[in-house]
Amino acid sequence: MKNRINAGFKNRNVFLKKLGTLLTTSTIVILVLTSLASAVDCGLIPHGIDGLVLRSDGVTQMPAGTNFSVHDNTSGDLISGNTGGPPPLPGWYSVPICGNDGDEVKIRAWNATHFGERTVILSGTMSGIDVIVNSPIIQALIANANGPYTGTVNVAIGFTGSATGGTSPYTSYAWEFGDGATGSVQNPSHAYTGAGTFTANLTVTDTDGTIAKNSTQIMVSLPATDYGSISGFKINDINGNGKWDAGEKGISRWNITLVGINNDGKIILREIRTDTIGFYEFVNLPAGKYIIKEENQKGWQHTISTVRYIVLKNGQKSMNNDFTNRLVNKR
């Protein structure tokens, strides 16, 4: 260790000659002890390396406190620290390192956004080994599916994909929507045919071939029920032609029956009577398939079909589902 401390003094003497400044003995001791604080006594020949850490222009020094490390790749000796010498040298570093002449030594320096490095072959005490911090630090590639999303069955949902970090431009956006369907554009649209909760997966690839993934959930619900209706008239078809002609009136108190099944599979049964003008209407009907049938009454003859088959859409009002009868026997 005694030899190592002597080598440290030699380094500082080189630095003092550069400054042309006379330092007190106490200051020198403090600097030596600071540099040796992280040194490893590996039993090899102690050497010294110093220099400046510079900005990308190669002239301006990085601020005091900039991270640096000196690594002897051959002996394994690694020393790290922060720059900072006496003013005006905020970017100065100086370390003793144990190794042998001919060892490969890498000096690195970095801040939050950029780094620089330099490799030298160890030869005695080396001064002026400056490092320029000019290479951007590539942040990790992060994909973002930007969910969660909500939607309705059979209605397209717009997805938004994005990415940060990595090496742009990003060459691929691959989507898996969780129902077997896929997409290959950044911002796709997709409609689900059933209700439920789905997981969509996004895979982003950057120019270097790096891959990042992200997933999100999609809640798909059935469309809100907008109720519809089915209506018509019961007509006294005097001339028996199956049409509602002028002068023909409606028949009141005639039973009309409805049988149906909605889109959720629920059976619907209803029955009403025509009003004073022969009008009937089934209201609050969900979308589905329906059969409307009129009753048979003694003394009356049907002049058109007694059954109507209706496919009712969501919120639809199905009108003019009329029935016509002709009186054949007066009561």
Per-residue tokens: 75: 């002996």
Same domain, 190 and 129: no
pLDDT for 131 beyond 90: yes
Give the pLDDT confidence of 48-94 residue by residue, as tens digits.
Answer: 999 999 999 999 999 999 999 999 999 999 999 999 988 889 999 99
> Nearest 10 degrees: CA dihedral of 119, 123, 128, 129?
10
Which residue range forms the structural domain that includes residue 206? Answer: 142-221
**Inter-residue contact 263 to 287 (CB < 8 Å):** yes
Give the pLDDT confidence of 153-212 residue by residue, as tens digits.
Answer: 999 999 999 999 998 899 999 999 999 999 999 999 999 999 999 999 999 999 989 999
Same domain, 110 and 149: no
Q: Among residues 84, 119, 136, which one ends one of the domains? A: 136
Same domain, 155 and 125: no
pLDDT for 33 beyond 50: no
Same domain, 199 and 232: no
Same domain, 9 and 125: yes
CATH number of the domain enclosing 157: 2.60.40.10
pLDDT for 217 beyond 80: yes
Q: Among residues 180, 198, 221, which one ends one of the domains? A: 221
Q: Among residues 136, 162, 183, which one ends one of the domains? A: 136
Same domain, 235 and 259: yes
Same domain, 117 and 156: no
Same domain, 92 and 211: no
In the chain, alpha helices (H) = 2-19, 25-36
Same domain, 59 and 153: no
- How much of the chain, in percent, has pLDDT values that exceed 70? 86
Structurally, the chain folds into a number of domains equal to 3
Same domain, 266 and 314: yes
Q: Of 141, 109, 108, 105, which is closest to residue 125 (Cα–Cα)?
A: 105
**Inter-residue contact 191 to 181 (CB < 8 Å):** no
Same domain, 320 and 305: yes
Same domain, 239 and 217: no
The per-residue pLDDT of the chain, averaged, comes to 86
